[in-house]
Amino acid sequence: MKKSKLLLVSLTSIMAVLLLSGCENNMVVFNPQGPIARQILELINFSIALMLLVTIVVFGLFAFIVWKYRERKDNMSYEPPEEHGSTVLEIIWTVIPILIIVALTIPTVKTIYAIDEIPQGYEDKEPLVINVTSADWKWIFSYPEQGIETINYVNIPEDRPIDFRLTSAGTMQSFWIPALGGQKYSMAKAETQLYLVADNPGSYVGRNTNFNGQGYAGMEFEVLSQTQKEFDEWVKEVKETAPKMTLSEYEKMLEPSHFGRKTFSNTHLEWVDHSDPHSKNYTNPEMYDRGHGWPGKIFEDKDNYKNKDGNTVNTKHDNSEDMNHNESETDDSHGGEHSGH
Amino acid sequence: MGIKWDEFFVTGDPLIFASQIGIALTMIGALAALTYFKKWNYLWTEWLTTVDHKKIGIMYILMGVLMFVRGGIDGLMMKGQTAVPENEFLNAQHYNEVFTTHGVIMILFVAMPLLIGLMNFVIPLQIGARDVAFPQLNALSFWLTFSGAMLFNISFIIGGSPDAGWTSYFPLAGKEFSPGIGNNFYAVALQIAGAGTLMTGINFVVTVLKMRTKGMTLMKMPMFTWTSFITSIIIVASFPIFTVALALMTFDRTFGTHFFTISGGGMDMLWANLFWLWGHPEVYIVVLPAFGMLSDIISTFARKTLYGYKSMVISIVMISVLSMLVWVHHFFTMGNSAGVNSFFSITTMAIAIPTGVKVFNWLFTMRKGRIKFTTAMLWSLAFVPNFVIGGVTGVMLAMAAADYQYHNTLFLVAHFHYVLIPGVVFPIFAGLYFWWPKMFGYMLNERIGKWHFWLFVIGFNVTFMPMFFLGLDGAVRRAYTYSAETGFGPLMMISAVGSVILAAGFAALVYNIYWSARHADRNIGNDPWDARTLEWATATPVQHYNFASLPDVSKIDAFWHMKKNNEIQPLTEDEIEEIHLPSNTWIPIYMGVIFGISGFLLVFEWTIAAAIAALGIFAGLAFRSFDYDEGFHVHKDEILETERKWRKGANKGVKNHVS
């Protein structure tokens, strides 16, 4: 039985090593398609190597001690010595982890700062700005310079930094294209920012990783990296052939729903920028149907897009709501704090 | 008010309908059995109104095991759903409810009650006390926890379960996106249970500080007492944060305030911060007592005193301090500045230092020892390699830049299961096998215990190891389905098979409890493991007053030295005095019931009815204020008789029942 224990331990460690080396070739995080993802992968590989070393040492020591000092028929009379510790040894195994942590901290902090910037070698290339708006349960990509908008897919030129400006029309979501780099949250009335670059033309999967309700599992989009020429042609074609989106169409789109790709030759930014703390709320609580259970109260929301300007809103609700509402409307500096991201 | 019963009860799903009928029948059966066997009086006087820390501990453990079944079934349903791509066993809504309740129940109603149950039972014994500092408050803690757990559990058959994840992130968890009352269950039930936990924290801080027996200085306390003490301090520091956050959530959802909403200047990020300000210390609240149990168990079965006691104590204090300084690592991707992310990366990685010290101390406790492979020790040993995997992946996740690729993926899910299962569940099992004889007077069967061990450990690894790789391949958590093209199918299937083995292991534990209760040997002496700390210096099962005369302690591992010096002798009559103990009380269970009723009404947003019911809480407080019961005295004769019985057999013969 003790043998099988040892066997299990060694098997697990061997399995871990094998799986790590064996699967490396097809796991998306280990196949970076851009400089940011590559930088992160270097950090990951370094940490795996170091951690594997730690694991092997501890497993080895563990197996050795458990095996050597196991109770056997012939050592039943052995009485272990009184031993309270050793200051030297305890200092040693405090210092070793400290050294490991320092070794990990340096590249970690460097990478954290590095991936906040345009990656090295691309500084001279002008970044393409794409405004990403997440909604339940779709991704909206606006190209403000080109004046076009795509839903649930995004085309980007290769070898050029893309400056993704993330916000949300509703729930908190996380924008992730693992082949190109790490993820970042998109949040209503706030803007987050993410640089990504694709090395080559190709198609990659992007998705939401932050749970946001019934349609979450399907919140994927395609990232198509093209040559600059192909990209320009595509933009031109969209501008010529794609329909213009109307405000009511856009409002309809923000209702909780799931659909395929769409393309427009204008952007919703002309009506609303969801990262603006004073923008209207595009929420539709009455449309979230869980199919069973007791329905709760839904509260009146005066900043909702359905309340058109000039309409007097009926006041059937409590005062606290009024107070909150007035405060955020009159006190600009207070509202401004929310945008600082 | 006109209640629509088809909305009041959850309808439209055959599985849930079957559960509703099952629950109704079980309740009727239980009531009928209690009446038929005339056990009502026994139940009321021995258990429901008890203030004895040992019985309260056992009730916590019973509740934890039952909730483990519930949370486990949730887990199996998730694994069943994701075993193959595009499965239609559960729809999105059901899956969302299932993973939400799985998370909440496993952390708050399994890990916490099991640990607090063991703390309740063991700590007063380890420090040579006759009860906790506030026995009645202790009973209140239990009944509030129980009340919260029951309120949370009925949500799946009445009203609808919470469905925003155990983290309940806003704005999703607000009325703007989750208009049903499901998340009210989360807000209210956790509030009630959390109040109970906070009281436990206060109780144990005072107990450890004020109730230690003569000679037991802080640095002579057993390690489980130390970790429970530090845990209690973390509870006292962090639970109020959760209390406030849940209250604000309740206001948002029930009264339409705007703390975390999108509208009215609410701040969704505030919830994430408040939640994890409690949520991260919470992880250490469950892990630290488990570490303490491991220390005591490893030291017992290696027959050596704990190596590096002082550095162990320093480590847990360091962990408790760091636990309050790392919460941002749960959302590195929220757009924090590079400086903030760097800071929290470093504090998070720093936790590896004290944890590493502890692992090496455990290893060196065993060095030069004589390791006996009892089931309790196997669980403690299995902890080391499995937890190391959880630990090193934790360090990887702590590196903010790398976390951008791991965040919210199955890599993260695998990591925290590798921390929480080996770090909390393994030690709990170890603790149950270890202290079971003290609780019930018989041991759990070692043979079935080994089946339990191997099935569970293998099943656990098969379930969660594949998730690391799935995560690195881009599989995200909480998704109820995935397409076949992703290629996740095979590993997901392996993981699902693993979960069945895992469940079989747990079934072996349940069978072991049943088998041992019926067939196990009752004549095992007071110290079947040849253990080291004071709880073994009592009868088995422990006499209700714990110690006839309070022990005098001069060293760490007090009982070990008592045995060596042959100090446990039959007591003479003049050594014995009457013992003063607190009386039973109906107030704690009454408070639990009234909190449950009031909470239930609040969940349904019937606020006036809830307020009226809450008057009952004040009634309970008033009764308590005018309660002049001074407790009772145990007579000398009874003590003499009890002590004579068990001390005869102590120190000889019946020790080693383990083969």
Residues 240-269, chain B, touching A (beta carbon < 8 A): 253-258, 262-265, 267-269
Place of tokens 């759990």: B444
A261 and A133 share one domain: yes
Domain ranges of chain B: 39-585+629-649, 586-628
Per-residue pLDDT of chain A (341 residues; tens, 9 = 90+): 445 555 555 556 556 555 555 444 689 999 999 999 999 999 999 999 999 999 999 999 999 999 999 999 998 889 899 888 889 999 999 999 999 999 999 999 999 999 999 998 899 999 999 999 999 999 999 999 999 999 999 999 999 999 999 999 999 999 999 999 999 999 999 999 999 999 999 999 999 999 999 999 999 999 999 999 999 999 999 999 999 999 999 999 999 999 999 999 999 999 999 999 999 999 999 999 888 889 989 998 888 888 865 444 444 344 434 444 443 333 333 333 343 33
Question: What's the pLDDT tens digit per position in B23-57?
Answer: 888 889 989 998 999 889 999 999 999 999 999 99
Q: Is B131 one of the catalytic residues?
A: yes
B555 CB within 8 Å of a chain A CB: no
**Minimum-distance CB partner of B180 among A1, A43, A296:** A296
Number of domains in chain A: 3
pLDDT of the residue at B659? 39
pLDDT of the residue at B23? 85
**Minimum-distance CB partner of B356 among A93, A294, A341:** A93
Question: What's the pLDDT tens digit per position in B474-522?
Answer: 999 999 999 999 999 999 999 999 999 999 999 999 999 999 999 999 8
Is residue B113 within 8 A of residue B65, CB to CB? The reply is no
Beta bridge partners of A220: A207
Q: Is B552 one of the catalytic residues?
A: no
Under an 8 A CB cutoff, do A101 and B604 touch? Answer: no
Q: Is B207 one of the catalytic residues?
A: yes
| Residue B162 DSSP label | -
Query: Which of A171, A176, A195, A328 is best to mutate for the B interface (most B CBs within 10 A)?
Result: A171
Is residue A193 within 8 A of residue A233, CB to CB? The reply is no
B340 CB within 8 Å of a chain A CB: no
Handedness of CA B91, A152, B83, A172 (dihedral sign): negative
Q: Is B480 one of the catalytic residues?
A: no
Under an 8 A CB cutoff, do B385 and A9 touch? Answer: yes
**Minimum-distance CB partner of B368 among A13, A81, A208:** A81
A157 and A233 share one domain: yes
Under an 8 A CB cutoff, do A69 and B367 touch? Answer: yes
Amino acid letter for position B471 = G
Question: What's the pLDDT tens digit per position in B65-84?
Answer: 999 999 999 999 999 999 99
Residue B474: list chain A partners with CB under 8 A. Answer: 27-29, 178, 205, 207
A57 and A149 share one domain: no
Whether A93 is in a domain gets the answer yes
B373 CB within 8 Å of a chain A CB: yes
A265 and A140 share one domain: yes
What residue of A is the nearest CA neighbor of B350? Answer: A101
Burial class (CB in 10 A: 0-12, 13-18, 19+), B76: middle
Is residue B373 within 8 A of residue A1, CB to CB? The reply is yes
Place of tokens 């799985």: B102
Whether A240 is in a domain gets the answer yes
A136 and A200 share one domain: yes
B363 CB within 8 Å of a chain A CB: yes
Read off the tokens for B262: 């999108």
pLDDT of the residue at B19? 84
Q: Is B138 one of the catalytic residues?
A: yes
Name the active-site residue from B96, B295, B345, B533.
B295
Lowest mean pLDDT among B179-193, B408-422, B560-574, B626-640: B560-574
A63 and A157 share one domain: no
Under an 8 A CB cutoff, do A30 and B11 touch? Answer: no
Residue A16: list chain B partners with CB under 8 A. Answer: 389, 465
pLDDT of the residue at A291? 86
pLDDT, mean of residues B105-127: 96
Distance (Å, rounded) from C-alpha A293 to C-alpha B488? 33
Name the active-site residue from B50, B100, B141, B499.
B141
A144 and A63 share one domain: no
Question: What's the pLDDT tens digit per position in B230-289?
Answer: 999 999 999 999 999 999 999 999 999 999 999 988 999 999 999 999 999 999 999 999
A164 and A260 share one domain: yes
Separation of first and last alpha carbons in chain A: 57
Q: Is B147 one of the catalytic residues?
A: no
Is residue A70 within 8 A of residue B366, CB to CB? The reply is no
- pLDDT above 90: residue B119: yes
Whether A280 is in a domain gets the answer no
pLDDT of the residue at B22? 85
Under an 8 A CB cutoff, do B395 and A104 touch? Answer: yes
pLDDT of the residue at B646? 81
* Average pLDDT in chain B: 93
Domain that holds residue A250: 128-270
Query: Which of A8, A299, A300, A301 is best to mutate for the B interface (most B CBs within 10 A)?
Result: A299
Q: Is B415 one of the catalytic residues?
A: yes
The SS3 of residue A222 is strand
Residue B186: list chain A partners with CB under 8 A. Answer: none
Gyration radius of chain A's alpha carbons: 28
Under an 8 A CB cutoff, do B408 and A209 touch? Answer: yes
Residue B194: Cβ within 10 Å count: 23
Q: Is B229 one of the catalytic residues?
A: no
A158 and A262 share one domain: yes
A132 and A263 share one domain: yes
Handedness of CA B13, B17, B22, B23 (dihedral sign): positive
B5 CB within 8 Å of a chain A CB: no
Cβ contacts below 8 Å, chain A against chain B, sum to: 372
B361 CB within 8 Å of a chain A CB: yes
B446 CB within 8 Å of a chain A CB: no
b/e code A123-152 from CB counts within 10 Å (16+ = b)? eeeebbebbbbbbbbbbbbbbeebbbbbbb
b/e code A261-299 from CB counts within 10 Å (16+ = b)? ebbbbbbbeeebbbbebebbbbbbbeebebebbbebeeb
Residue B182: list chain A partners with CB under 8 A. Answer: 290, 293
Is residue B160 within 8 A of residue B96, CB to CB? The reply is no
- Closest to A169 measured CA to CA, from A90, A257, A101: A257
**A173-176 sheet: strands from edge to edge:** A153-157, A220-226, A202-208, A173-176, A184-186
Q: Is B330 one of the catalytic residues?
A: no
Q: Is B78 one of the catalytic residues?
A: yes
B381 CB within 8 Å of a chain A CB: yes
CATH, domain B39-585+629-649, list 3.90.79.10, 3.40.50.720, 1.20.1250.20, 1.20.210.10: 1.20.210.10
Residues 629-658, chain B, touching A (beta carbon < 8 A): none
Residue B473: list chain A partners with CB under 8 A. Answer: 23, 26-29
Query: Which of B13, B300, B404, B406 is best to mutate for the A interface (most A CBs within 10 A)?
Result: B404
Cis previous bond, A137, omega within 30:
yes
Angle at B640 between CA B634 and CA B645, to 5 degrees: 120
Lowest mean pLDDT among B24-33, B132-141, B144-153, B191-200: B24-33
Q: Is B296 one of the catalytic residues?
A: no
Under an 8 A CB cutoff, do A97 and B257 touch? Answer: no
Read off the tokens for B308: 């590096």
Distance (Å, rounded) from C-alpha A23 to C-alpha A14? 14
Place of tokens 């009457």: B578
Under an 8 A CB cutoff, do A212 and B176 touch? Answer: no
Question: Which residue has better confidence, B648 or A26?
Answer: A26
A138 and A214 share one domain: yes
For residue A151, what are the contacts with CB-CB under 8 A and spacing of at least 6? A138, A139, A140, A141, A253, A259, A261, A262, A263
Whether A313 is in a domain gets the answer yes
